[in-house]
Each structure stands twice: as C-alpha cells, then as structure tokens.
Structure 1
Amino acid sequence: MTFGEKIQKLRKEAGLSQEELSYQLEVSRQAISKWERDNGYPETEKIVRMSKLFNVSLDYLLNEEDTQKPEINPDEKGIYVSREMADGFLAYQKRKMIKIGIAAGLFVGGLSLSFWDAEISMILFMVVVILGIILLFSVKLADNPYRKIWKESLSFDKTVKSELTAVYADKKKLAHILNLVGIALIAIGFLLCPMIVPAEMYVLDNIVFACGMVLAGAGAFLCVYMAGIVRAYRVLIMNEEYHENRK
C-alpha cells in the first residue's frame, strides 16, 4: 500500500473530507488530493501531524510494505490539535459569535424603532429583523471545518495545552467583566430606562425608552459573544469534562 493510499484510507476511516483534512493540516485541498494520488509528498511536520491525527505510527505511514495500522498510543485517542489548528478554531468561533451577537443585538435593539410614531419605523424594524435573520442563516449555512472538535475527544501536546490554558485564564477575567457589563446594560435598558421619565412626558419618555432598547441590544451582543468565546476555549482545554456533561 502506497503512502497516498494509506492517507486516503485513514482519512475515510476518520470520516474526514479532503477539505476538512486540509484545514487541520493547514494546507490546500489540492495538496491533499496530490498526496492521495502519490503525485507529491508532504513535509515532515505534516507527516508527524497526520501520525498524531490518525493515531498511527510514523513507520506505518512511511513504510509501504507495512499494511497493518498500529496505534501510536491506545491511551491518546481523539483528534490531534496543533497550536495552528487551535488558533484557527478560535478565530472561526470569534467570527461566528460576532455574527450571532450582532443578530441578537439587532433583534433587541431594533425594538427601539417601535417607539417611533412614523410609519417608516415599522419598515425599518422589519429591515433590522431581516438583517438579523440573514446573519443567523449565514452562520448556519457556512462550512464549518472544525465541527469534529465539538463532537470528538481531543489530544494535545503538553505545551499547546498549557499555552491555551494560560490564554484562557486571561480571557476568562475579561469575559467575566464584559458579561457583567452586558447584563448591566440589559437591566438598564429594560428596567431602569422605563422609570426615568414620567409617562406624561410622552415624547421624552419614548426617546428614553428607545435609548434603553439600544443599550439592551449592546448588552445582548456582549453576553452572547463572550459566552460563545468562553465555550470555545472550554471545549479545547476542558474537553473531557465538556463531553461528560453532554452525556
């Protein structure tokens, strides 16, 4: 069995498409296709990464006479996550949560338009809602090359996991502060603003109500975005606990 045939066999057994494997190895899909057709050969670093990704030895990958698939370590099951793959996953999650957070902010903040008397306010409100729906559908329909990270166990180099843990410790403090800010903005928008101006002052009361909804929308964005980022870090560094909680 040639090197290319082994790569193709291992990829299919792992349930990965060429595109998904290319994301994990930080190469193009065309490169994977060439390797599988034995028209090219990956760098040593990529071979080592595939060895860890597929849980096979380097000898198995490099020795064409070896047709058995020995595991490198039965205690280290799961997808191998390099620092590059972890950074790519986190960057993808940030882009995703920005869209979801903006959609949540638009849905809540868009309520400010309901306090306008003009007929165009309803049209503008519907436009805002449609924009939010489009953002959510763009997230749902987008290709997610990292979906297996949420579903399967992960394996790391010790240095990679320690680095991610250190970054998470710093991010967690900021996330806690921003979550509190978001909750405060939502509380101000929904609870405090309606009480500031007497109902008799109709025009000013509507303006304050509208401003309150905008503040609540900003708070919704912060809460949704930070919750998604914290969850992404946790699935990486607390992978075993995450999967146990899902069972």
Structure 2
Amino acid sequence: MMRGWIIVILAEKIMELRKKNGWSQEELAFQMDVSRQSVSKWESGASIPDLERILKLSQLFGVSTDYLLKEELEDLPAVSPEVPDCENGIKRITMEAAGEFMENKIKASKQVAGAVSACILSPVVLIYLGALAEYKENVISEGMAGSVGVIVLLLIVGLSTVFFILNGMKMERFKDMEKEGFRLEYGVEAIIRKKMAEYEGINRIYTVTGVFLCIISVCPLLIASSLDASEFIQTICLEALFVIVAAAVYLLVLAGEKKSCFQILLQEGDYTEAKKMEKKKTERIPAVYWCIVTAVYLGISFFTQDWGRTWIIWPCAAVLYGAVWGIAGALKHQ
C-alpha cells in the first residue's frame, strides 16, 4: 500500500515539475532519452522510473531525490534542499549513495566470483602435467611438470588475491553500511526492492544451477571408476570435477554477492543491526581460518607432492568451516 502511494506522489511531482519548466511530455522524453509513452506512464502512475532515471530526473529538475520520493506532497523548493548526512547520530543513505553502492557491488560480484573460481582451478595445470609426466615421460619430465605447475598455481592464486585486495579497497568506502546502522531516505527502499525483484529470478537460476553442478561434480570420477579407466583418464576426470565445481562456485558466489547487496541496503538477513553487532565480534574468524587452511594445503601438498589427492582438504575445510562458525557463535552467546 505504501509503495503504491509513493508511485502516485512521484507521478504527480514529475508532472508538476515538467509543467513548471514549460515542457511537453515529448520534450521531457527527449531530454530523458525515453519515449513519450514512458513519460506518460510515469505521470499516470502506471510505471515507475528506474534508479538511474530518477537520479537523472532530480538533476534535470534541480531537486533532490528526497523531494521526488518523499511520501507526501509539499511545496516545490526553489533550489535543491540540503539533506543532512546524519540525523540524531544515525547516518542517512541518499538515493545517489544507494545507487552508487549497488552499481559497484553488482559489478564487483563478477570479479569476486571469478577470483574464487580461479583459486579452485589453480591446481588443475599442476595435476595434469604431473599425470602427463608419469604416463608419457617423453613429453615432459617430472621436475619440469612440477615446476611449471607450481608456477601456474602461484600465479593464479596471486592474481586472484590481487583481485580480492583491489575489490576490498574499492568497496572500503561502503564498509560502514555493512558494519553500522543507518536509515534510508524517503522512497529509497521502494526503489531498492524493485531492483531486487529484477534480480530475483536470475539469482534463483544461478543458485539452483550451482547446487546441481555441485551434486553432479563427482560423476566424471564415478564413470571413470565404473569403466575401469586408466589412471591418466581418471586424472582427466578429476580435472573435469575441478571445472564443474569452479563453475558451480562461480554461480553460487555471484548469486550470494548480489543478494547481499540488497540485504545490506535493506538491513535484512545477515545485515540487521543485531547481526552487525554480532559480526563485529567474529569478523576476523574467516580470514584466520582460510589462511590456516591454505597454509596446511600448500604445506602438505609440497611435502607429499601428491597434489592429485591433497585437493580433498578444500571440501573438508568447507564442511568444517560451518562447524567452526557454529562453535564460535555458541561461545559468543555464553
């Protein structure tokens, strides 16, 4: 009901501002780079402009997004009103800030998902070259295979780490949204929920596909074992498992990052004010845990030189992580 009222008020304000500037619907449509029918729908309340066009409308009319989206009619300001960044000590998030955050977060989600998948694929070259050296000695020596494989692994992990660091630096200015409470300006929540609804369908597909790929990832190995294939063929099947898991993780991380984008702004799910206070006490656990897992994986792998089997550390660590997080939560509430 409230969202419908916001659409009606927005429609009336767009019409009022257009007439005040002496523009026809065609002229406004030309300046907004949309059709006249779109402007007509905005003014009738049949549709609502998307986030980018609301920002453009505020700039074109010389008013703030707060004025456009406020849930009440009021006299048209002569100039854009100044909106305080904080109110009663609580930070206020403007439409511009919310739009910038969503744009950067959604764009970064692909980079984060790609970097995570790359880390999963990092041992693939090493495993393949090791198998090639063992079963086709005239192609490459074991020493060369190990050296090249390790170099490729370290390069992939290193580049992925650079992506994580750069992404973290880029999103640093938005960290307060994840850690501190805030209030959205009038009307901003309705726009965010509209944007979230646009992503909901594709995110559901990503999640279902990712889970499905995780389930079937062991199929290549099972098929190779049932056919009594050679160890080299089994190694190729292991490579296929890595590729399938990497694809699954890419989709799951992408869906999770996009979902978290909207949850952060709406302060829902894992980003309610209560959850934010809890996270402050345990925020270093993931970094410490995965650093230890990485060190254990590399240490055991280099010591045993059995890269074809030590990969099992990662799925075990992922399962154990849930237990570690649960224990940390239980201890925290004692």
Report if TM-score (shorter chain) is over 0.5: yes
User: Which structure carries more relative contact order (alpha carbon 8 Å, separation 6+)?
Assistant: 1
Shift of 1:183: 2.1
Kept in 1, the 8 Å contact 2:120–2:242? The answer is yes
How far apart, CA to CA, are the structure 1 residues paired with 2:63 and 2:197?
A: 33
Match of 1:79 in 2: 92
Kept in 1, the 8 Å contact 2:224–2:233? The answer is yes
How far apart, CA to CA, are the structure 1 residues paired with 2:196 and 2:99?
A: 12
How far apart, CA to CA, are the structure 2 residues paired with 1:207 and 1:184?
A: 21
Asked whether 1:110 is paired with 2:139, we answer no
Larger radius of gyration: 2
Quick one: structure 1 residues 152 and 49, their matched pair in 2 at CA, closer, same or farther if it must change by over 3 Å?
farther
Asked whether 1:180 is paired with 2:208, we answer yes
How far apart, CA to CA, are the structure 1 residues paired with 2:81 and 2:272?
A: 24
Match of 1:90 in 2: 102
Let me know the Cα RMSD of the aligned residues. Answer: 2.8
User: Equivalent residue of 1:154, what SS?
Assistant: strand
Asked whether 1:121 is paired with 2:149, we answer yes
Kept in 1, the 8 Å contact 2:105–2:258? The answer is yes
Asked whether 1:132 is paired with 2:160, we answer yes
The letter for the 2-side match of 1:137 is: I
User: Equivalent residue of 2:107, what SS?
Assistant: helix
Asked whether 1:99 is paired with 2:103, we answer no
Q: How many residues align?
A: 184
Shift of 1:202: 2.1
Match of 1:235 in 2: 264
TM-score by length of 2: 0.49
Shift of 1:100: 1.8
Quick one: structure 1 residues 50 and 195, their matched pair in 2 at CA, closer, same or farther if it must change by over 3 Å?
farther
The letter for the 2-side match of 1:81 is: T
Shift of 1:109: 1.9
Query: What are the Cα deviations for residues 61-119 of structure 1, in whole angstroms up to 9, with x where unaligned?
Result: xxxxxxxxxxxxx6x9431321x322210111123322221121011122322431251
Shift of 1:239: 5.2
In structure 1, the gaps of 5 or more residues are 1-25, 27-42, 56-73
Shift of 1:163: 2.2
Kept in 1, the 8 Å contact 2:113–2:250? The answer is yes
Asked whether 1:203 is paired with 2:232, we answer yes
In structure 2, the gaps of 5 or more residues are 1-54, 56-61, 66-78, 134-144, 278-334
* One of 197, 221, 238 as aligned partner of 1:194: 221
Quick one: structure 1 residues 86 and 165, their matched pair in 2 at CA, closer, same or farther if it must change by over 3 Å?
same
Identical-pair percentage:
11
The letter for the 2-side match of 1:78 is: K
